[in-house]
Amino acid sequence: MRSALAALAKNITPPNLSIMQDEGWSVARVRTELLSGLTVALALVPEAVAFAFVAGVHPLVGLYAAFLVGLITALIGGRPGMISGATGALAVVMVALVAEHGVEYLFATVVLMGILQVIAGVMQWGKFIRLVPHPVMLGFVNGLAIVIFLAQMTQFKVPGSVENTGHGMSGGEWLAGPQLMTMLGLVALTMAIIWVMPRITKVIPAPLAGIGIVAVLVIALGLDVPRVGDMASIEGGLPLFHIPMVPLNWETFQIILPYAVILAAIGLIESLLTLNLVGEITGKRGGASQECIAQGTANVVTGFFGGMGGCAMIGQSMINVKSGGRTRIAGVFAALCLLLFIVAASPLIEQIPLAALVGVMFMVVIGTFAWNSLKIMRKVPLTDAFVIVLVTVVTVMTDLAIAVVVGVIVSALAYAWGNATRITATTRESVTDKGAKVYEIQGPLFFGSSDGFVELFDVQNDPDSVIVDFANSRVADQSALQAIEAMAGKYEAAGKKLTLRHLSRDCHQLLTRAGHLVIDSDDDPDYQVAADYSVRTGILGGH
């Protein structure tokens, strides 16, 4: 499964592109970082505007979020090369809050969301992202690639006809006739330029070349195709400090807390999964807790400056990586360029054809989708293949957070069931204790296998002396201890002697306390179950 992620990284990383992990600084490197940041900034504009529409807020609310979240996470985030900003996954949750309570409650929610994310980082909860199995990761990137593709479909509708229904962007008339053909032709041209450009020169990032060439062509020929300015005006001033105008009381807290918890969870899940994906490409590890703190800090600040909050953006992160961005310079410059677009360069940016940006995102889709996962579906266990498909579908139909949680739960249940069926026992007559029957336990003993463990023993027909050997087993949790206690209780009730061997030291203490004979051996295992189990539960309280 790890090879599939490696193949995904190979698909996304441009051929022969230097990753510059320890190459030092150079003029060429700085130029690459700046051009990569400019490319990302151009791609951020329509995304931020579209997600603002989805959330039901003014476009500048989305643009300010993209600037502030992008800037702060670029400066202090856990993985250089990642790009953050306003995202659709968060916008679809915000829409109900804005529709019912207004945008000021959204700002307050974003502040609380950030505080929760900082707490998660301080508590180092980001490390739990390691529990996400590789099949879930593959389903995540596949589902997200499909979501990015579907999100571009609104650009093929007549400007001004797409409406915000309170549940996202919908409705509108599709482009038709010559205008549609021109739009599709420009999208194809942009994709062709991005594909060909690395073979000609790597001085200019291929996505930036695609946007620039197509934009010049459209403006020079006066082609009638949708442009950035047709979505909304991006002109504005600097974001100003603004305390959310909401009552500071318990009722307000009750309103915003559920939304803040959901937004914080979605934001961290998407950010940490993106962090892992970028880590696979750049060959770097760690930084999960730092990323949580960076995301939280960015959202707290954004909430006080009129932004809608955000998290890591896998599409823009892939554009950055594909364009050569590997350091914090690219992310910082992308955020500063976005602010420049808002304050001074809006008339120029609004002339960029949406077809060029759609072409860039389509190339991101091609690079993001784990095509190798289609080949390995017949080679991996059926459960893993099912999880890949399940997470992909749930990501598309609902949202990323639900998809990841569902995928982890299904994977965990499948693992637990597989281990539950592995508990077995072989029997023999004891060599040292004549007449004693020995049960040699194989497989892990935990909550899933505890019932099967008890069923292994024939208490009624066993001799008066029974030895249970755990050398090839492992007692994993409290349910396992309870199962041992239940089995021992049956032998005690039948008046038979029970001896337990090769248990860990804490099991020795608990079961000896309960009155059962445990034999010490030099080769006893050394692992912890729950030293205070009997104190907290009373289950092993003796007879």
Confidence of residue 31 (pLDDT cuts 50, 70, 90): very high
pLDDT digits (tens, 9 = 90+) for 61-119: 999 999 999 999 999 998 888 999 998 888 888 988 999 999 999 999 999 999 999 99
Give helix 328-343 / helix 27-55 axis angle, nearest 10°: 50
pLDDT digits (tens, 9 = 90+) for 381-398: 889 999 999 999 998 888
Cα(first)–Cα(last) distance of the chain, in Å? 50
Rounded to an integer, the average pLDDT of 150-174 is: 67
State the CB neighbour count (10 A cutoff) for residue 501.
Answer: 18
Place of tokens 């996400």: 132
Rounded to an integer, the average pLDDT of 404-412 is: 91
**What 3 state SS string does 26-92 have?**
CHHHHHHHHHHHHHHHHHHHHHHHHHHHHHCCCHHHHHHHHHHHHHHHHHHCCCCCCCEECCHHHHH
**Parallel, antiparallel, or unpaired: how do β-strands 437-445 and 465-475 relate?**
parallel
Which domains occur in the chain, in start order?
A: 2-10+26-411 (no CATH), 424-537 (3.30.750.24)
Residue 61 token pair? 């609310």
Is the overall model pTM greater than 0.85, yes or no? no
Which carries the bigger pLDDT value, residue 211 or residue 3?
211
Residue 519's H or E segment, with its range, is strand 517-519
Say what the pLDDT of residue 114 is.
97
Confidence of residue 167 (pLDDT cuts 50, 70, 90): very low
Q: In sequence order, what E strands does 405-494 have?
A: 424-429, 437-445, 465-475
Mean pLDDT of the residues in the chain? 84
- The mean-pLDDT minimum among 219-228, 275-284, 310-319, 350-359 falls in 275-284
Residue 107's H or E segment, with its range, is helix 103-122
Say what the pLDDT of residue 389 is.
94
With contact defined as beta carbons under 8 Å apart, do 443 and 424 qualify?
yes
Rounded to an integer, the average pLDDT of 194-207 is: 89
Place of tokens 């929760």: 116
494/145 Cα distance (integer angstroms): 63
pLDDT digits (tens, 9 = 90+) for 60-73: 999 999 999 999 99
**Parallel, antiparallel, or unpaired: how do β-strands 163-164 and 84-85 relate?**
unpaired
- Listed in sequence order, the residues at least 6 apart from 71 whose beta carbon sits closer than 8 Å to its beta carbon are 298, 331, 332, 335, 336
333/37 Cα distance (integer angstroms): 5
Say what the pLDDT of residue 38 is.
94
Say what the pLDDT of residue 521 is.
55
Nearest to 391 by CA among 381, 406, 370: 406
Residue 200 token pair? 């000609």
State the CB neighbour count (10 A cutoff) for residue 113.
Answer: 31
- The mean-pLDDT minimum among 3-7, 142-146, 281-285, 349-353 falls in 3-7
With contact defined as beta carbons under 8 Å apart, do 368 and 314 qualify?
yes
- For 232-244, letters b (16+ CB in 10 Å) and e give bebbbeebeeeeb
Say what the pLDDT of residue 92 is.
82
Place of tokens 């420009």: 186
Confidence of residue 3 (pLDDT cuts 50, 70, 90): very low
- Listed in sequence order, the residues at least 6 apart from 186 whose beta carbon sits closer than 8 Å to its beta carbon are 214, 217, 218, 223, 225, 353, 355, 356, 359
Judge whether residue 376 has pLDDT over 80: yes
Burial of 452 (0-12, 13-18, 19+ CB in 10 A): middle
Amino acid at 29: R
207/323 Cα distance (integer angstroms): 7
Backbone angles phi and psi of 475, in degrees to 5:
-85, 115
Edge-first strand order for the sheet with 437-445 is 424-429, 437-445, 465-475, 497-501, 517-519
Residue 45 token pair? 């504009």
State the CB neighbour count (10 A cutoff) for residue 342.
Answer: 24
Confidence of residue 163 (pLDDT cuts 50, 70, 90): low
Judge whether residue 274 has pLDDT over 70: yes
Judge whether residue 404 has pLDDT over 60: yes
311/299 Cα distance (integer angstroms): 8
> Residues 409-413: contacts with CB within 8 Å, 24+ apart?
410/383, 410/386, 411/133, 411/135, 411/136, 411/383, 411/387
* Angle formed at CA 139 by CA 138 and CA 143, multiple of 5 degrees: 120
Judge whether residue 293 has pLDDT over 90: yes
Which carries the bigger pLDDT value, residue 159 or residue 530?
159
Distances (CA, A) of 376 to 5, 16, 145, 277: 11, 26, 18, 19
Confidence of residue 24 (pLDDT cuts 50, 70, 90): low
Judge whether residue 534 has pLDDT over 60: no
Range picked from 144-148, 406-410, 511-515 for highest mean pLDDT: 406-410
pLDDT digits (tens, 9 = 90+) for 420-479: 888 899 999 888 778 899 999 998 888 888 889 989 999 999 999 999 988 888 887 778
Residue 339 token pair? 């602010």
Say what the pLDDT of residue 1 is.
41
- The mean-pLDDT minimum among 144-153, 165-174, 351-360, 483-492 falls in 165-174
Rounded to an integer, the average pLDDT of 228-247 is: 91
- The mean-pLDDT minimum among 244-248, 402-406, 516-520 falls in 516-520
Which carries the bigger pLDDT value, residue 171 or residue 82?
82
Range picked from 90-94, 123-127, 339-343 for highest mean pLDDT: 339-343
Judge whether residue 137 has pLDDT over 60: yes
